[in-house]
Structure 1
Amino acid sequence: MSLQNRLTLLSTAIVSILLALFCLFLYLVAEQYRKKEFLNRLRSEALTAGHLLVGQERLGPTLYKLIDKNQLTVLPEEEIIIYNAQNRLIYESGTDYLTVTPAILNRVRELKTTQWREGSREIVGIVFTGKAASFLIFASAVDLYGVRSMQDLARLLGGGWFVMIGVMLIAARYFMGRILEPISRINHRIDEITASNLSLRLPEGENADELTQLAQRFNRMLNRLEEAFRLQRSFVSHASHELRTPLTAITGQLEVSLLADDEPDELRATLRSVLDDVRGLNRMANGLLALANASMDSSAVPMATVQVDQLLEQVRREVQRLQSDYTVHLHIDPPNAAPADWQLTGSEPLLRTAFFNLLDNGGKFSADHTVSVQLSRLAKSVELRVHNAGSVIPADQLVAIFIPFQRGRNASGLPGYGIGLPLTDRIVQLHQGQIRVESSEDAGTTFIITLPR
């Protein structure tokens, strides 16, 4: 069943139930009013009979029967019965509709006034105090007009209920179709969006309702997907190019070596060149693998407590061990801080990779291969500043250096594949931190990382 039909039936069912309850409420109120009004008329008839038959100004029973029979306000099948204090019948209007038992007499004397129903007959019993004694007066009749009015009201309410349900069913289907029309347009547009046509967007409409918000969020998701596809295509294109260059060089060197009758020294030189290219490929493959791992969801990365100052010292020694001509100056501020001040929750292997990339980059781009590193404690975070006095990064490329395989113009002639900084940026994002770069002729280049403690 379609959503339109389900909503139509649901709204119609809710309205029909509420309307039925309202009709029932009206009927019960009207019935209560009819009953109360008729009992009041019976009570008035009983009091009138008491005043005229056993009151101070009495009429004879024959005259009262004549008046009662011919008055215009006489009730259908009306009957008046009067008992004296000794429970003897002293007056009966002549009909025999009602049977009064001693138990009823005692109950009326106890309650002073009471009312009940026998079949369709309404009965009222009261205690009337005459000139010298009290009497029991019973008035009963059948409310033929009131009952017929209630039956007509019930038929009117029932017929109106059925008519209104039919109108509601038609109106609900029409309005539900109008309400769900934007969803139909969204579905048609979604069917048109493919991997090769991600530029299409959903119609958002003019009203700021939930459907418009849904379309807006879906369009923002499409923007992210389109950007991800673009980056993926760019990544694959650059990776293919970077991998093809060393592979072509290795292939050419091996083919030349096989065709030529080189001396052993020349062969060893060729093998050393091939080995350097293979090591470069290995570094690139490791970088691509690390970049892929860092691009996963942060919930899938195991996190633990990391001692940042100790980790940074280990990375400093590792960089100087691998690059003996590099000089790394590490300054920790404040130097006497408690170990807990340098603790944060993160992935130690990923942070090690990020720190190594920054220090290695700083030494590579510095003319004297000197890097200055400062670790500072802030109120709720730690800040790492990696500075080198090398060539300046052009201002228009400060953002592009964090895109895979994109290298600044200042990197021309230097080894590298454009993977280290994008990998570092992704690792910092995984740790909910921030990275920014400042580069100028006077101050040199400084990478600033802020990580929450």
Structure 2
Amino acid sequence: MSLQNRLTLLSTAIVSILLAFFCLFLYLVAEQYRKKEFLTRLRSEALTAGHLLVGQEHLGPALYNLIDKNQLTVLPDEEIIIYNAQNRLIYESGTDFLTVTPAVLDRVRELQTTQWREGNREIVGIMFTEKAAPFVIFASAVDIYGVRSMQDLARLLSGGWFVMIGVMLIAARYFMGRILEPISRINQRIDEITASNLSLRLPEGESADELTQLAQRFNRMLNRLEEAFRLQRSFVSHASHELRTPLTAITGQLEVSLLADDEPDELRATLRSVLDDVRGLNRMANGLLALANASMDSSAVPMGPVPLDRLLEQVQLDVQRLQPTYTVHLRIESPNASPADWQLTGSEPLLRTAFFNLLDNGGKFSTDHTVTLHASVQPKSVELRVHNAGSVIPPDQLAEVFIPFQRGRNASGLPGFGIGLSLTERIVRLHKGDIRVESKEGAGTTFIVTLPR
């Protein structure tokens, strides 16, 4: 069953139940009013009979019967019965619809007034004490017209209920179709979106309802997917290009060596060149693997406490051990900070890779291979500033330094594949941090990393 039909039936069922309760409530209120009104009339008939038969204005039974038969307000099958204090019947209107027992008389004297129903006959009993001697008067009748009116009201409410349910079904189906029309448009557009045309977006509409919010969130998801596909295509394109160059060089050198009758020294030189290319390929493969790992969701990366100050000292030693020609100055500020102030929650291997890449990149681009790292504790974060005084990054390429395989014009002639900074940026984002770069002529280049404490 479609969503439109389910919503139509559900809304109709809810309205029908509420409408049924409302009709029942109206019927019960009307029935109570009919009963109350009829009992009030019976009580008035009993009081009138008491005044005229046993009260101060005594008319006599014959005259009262004559008046009672000819009055316009007489009730259907009306019967008046009067008993004296000795439970002796002193008047009866002539019909014999009601049987009164001594127990009923005692109850009326005890309660002063009472009412009950026998079949379709309504009965009222009252104590009449206009004279010294008390009398018990009973008035009973059948509310033929009231009951008939209630039956007509019941038929009217039932018929109206069925008509309204039919109208509700038609109206609910129409309006549910109008409400769900944006979903149909969304489904149609989703069917049109494929990997080859991710630029298509869902219609968002002008209102701010839940369907519009759903379309907006879906479009934002498509934006992220389109960006991921674009980066993937760019990644594959640059990776294949970077891999093709050393592989071509290795193939060419080996083919030349096989065809030529080189001396052992020349063969050793060729093998050393091939070995350098293989090592470069190995570094690139490791960089690509690290880049893929850094692209994972943060929930998939094991996190733990990381003492940042000690980690930076270890990274400094690693850089100077692997790059003996580099000079790394580590300046940890905030001397009064406690060890807990340098504590971060993150992945120590990934953070070590990110800081190593920044220091290695700074030493590579510095003319004297000197790089300086300033670390300071902020109220809610830790700030790292990696500075080198080498060639600056062109202003038009500052926004591209973190794109995989993108290298600035100042990197011409220097080793590298354009992976390190992209990997560093992803690791920082994975730790909910921020990284930016400042590069000016005469001031050098500074990478600023902020990580939450």
**Same fold by TM-score greater than 0.5:** yes
TM-score, normalization: structure 2? 0.99
Corresponding position of 2:302: 302
State whether structure 2 residue 396 is matched by structure 1 residue 396. Answer: yes
Corresponding position of 1:83: 83
State whether structure 2 residue 213 is matched by structure 1 residue 193. Answer: no
Per-residue deviation, 1:393: 0.4
Corresponding position of 1:202: 202
The share of aligned pairs that are identical, in percent, is 88
Q: Which amino acid aligns with 2:91?
A: Y
Q: What SS is found at the alignment partner of 2:199?
A: coil
| Structure 1: distance between partners of 2:397 and 2:225 | 24
| Structure 2: distance between partners of 1:163 and 1:296 | 60
Q: Which amino acid aligns with 1:59?
A: L
Q: How does 1:18-417 map to 2 (within 5 A)?
A: 18-417=18-417
Q: What SS is found at the alignment partner of 1:402?
A: coil
Corresponding position of 1:7: 7
Q: Which amino acid aligns with 2:69?
A: K
Q: What SS is found at the alignment partner of 2:20?
A: helix
Query: Is 205-214 or 409-418 further displaced after alignment?
Result: 205-214
| Structure 1: distance between partners of 2:335 and 2:175 | 71
Unaligned runs of 5+ in 2: none
Corresponding position of 2:429: 429
Alignment deviations for residues 203-257 of structure 1 (CA, whole Å, 9 cap, x no partner)? 1122222212211111111111111101100000000000000000011111111
Per-residue deviation, 1:104: 0.6
Per-residue deviation, 1:72: 1.0
| Structure 1: distance between partners of 2:342 and 2:203 | 50
Corresponding position of 1:418: 418
Q: Which amino acid aligns with 1:159?
A: G
Q: Which amino acid aligns with 1:17?
A: I
Query: Is 59-68 or 346-355 further displaced after alignment?
Result: 59-68
Alignment deviations for residues 154-180 of structure 1 (CA, whole Å, 9 cap, x no partner)? 000000100010011011111111111
| Structure 1: distance between partners of 2:342 and 2:207 | 51
State whether structure 2 residue 438 is matched by structure 1 residue 438. Answer: yes
Q: Which amino acid aligns with 2:22?
A: F
| Structure 2: distance between partners of 1:240 and 1:438 | 31
Per-residue deviation, 1:341: 1.6
| Structure 1: distance between partners of 2:222 and 2:358 | 33
Per-residue deviation, 1:336: 4.6
Per-residue deviation, 1:66: 1.3
Q: Which amino acid aligns with 2:386?
A: V
Q: What SS is found at the alignment partner of 1:398?
A: helix
Q: What SS is found at the alignment partner of 1:195?
A: coil
Alignment deviations for residues 72-122 of structure 1 (CA, whole Å, 9 cap, x no partner)? 111000000000011111111111100111111111000000100000000
Alignment deviations for residues 112-146 of structure 1 (CA, whole Å, 9 cap, x no partner)? 00100000000000000032211000000000000
Q: What SS is found at the alignment partner of 2:393?
A: coil
TM-score, normalization: structure 1? 0.99
Q: What SS is found at the alignment partner of 1:399?
A: helix
| Structure 2: distance between partners of 1:254 and 1:304 | 48
Query: Is 208-217 or 339-348 further displaced after alignment?
Result: 208-217
Q: What SS is found at the alignment partner of 1:451?
A: strand
Q: What SS is found at the alignment partner of 1:55?
A: coil
Query: Is 213-222 or 267-276 further displaced after alignment?
Result: 213-222
| Structure 1: distance between partners of 2:191 and 2:340 | 55
Per-residue deviation, 1:338: 2.0
| Structure 1: distance between partners of 2:132 and 2:340 | 106
Q: What SS is found at the alignment partner of 1:207?
A: coil
| Structure 1: distance between partners of 2:408 and 2:263 | 41
Unaligned runs of 5+ in 1: none
Q: Which amino acid aligns with 1:132?
A: A
Query: Is 433-442 or 208-217 further displaced after alignment?
Result: 208-217
Alignment deviations for residues 397-451 of structure 1 (CA, whole Å, 9 cap, x no partner)? 1110100001111111100000000000000001111001110012100001011
Q: Which amino acid aligns with 1:264?
A: P
Q: What SS is found at the alignment partner of 1:439?
A: strand
Q: Which amino acid aligns with 1:243?
A: L
Alignment deviations for residues 306-365 of structure 1 (CA, whole Å, 9 cap, x no partner)? 011111111111111111110001111023532212111110000000000000000000
Q: What SS is found at the alignment partner of 2:401?
A: helix
| Structure 1: distance between partners of 2:95 and 2:334 | 114
| Structure 2: distance between partners of 1:204 and 1:334 | 51
| Structure 2: distance between partners of 1:442 and 1:408 | 18
| Structure 1: distance between partners of 2:130 and 2:378 | 102
| Structure 2: distance between partners of 1:343 and 1:381 | 10
Q: Which amino acid aligns with 2:191?
A: D
The number of residues matched between the two structures is 453
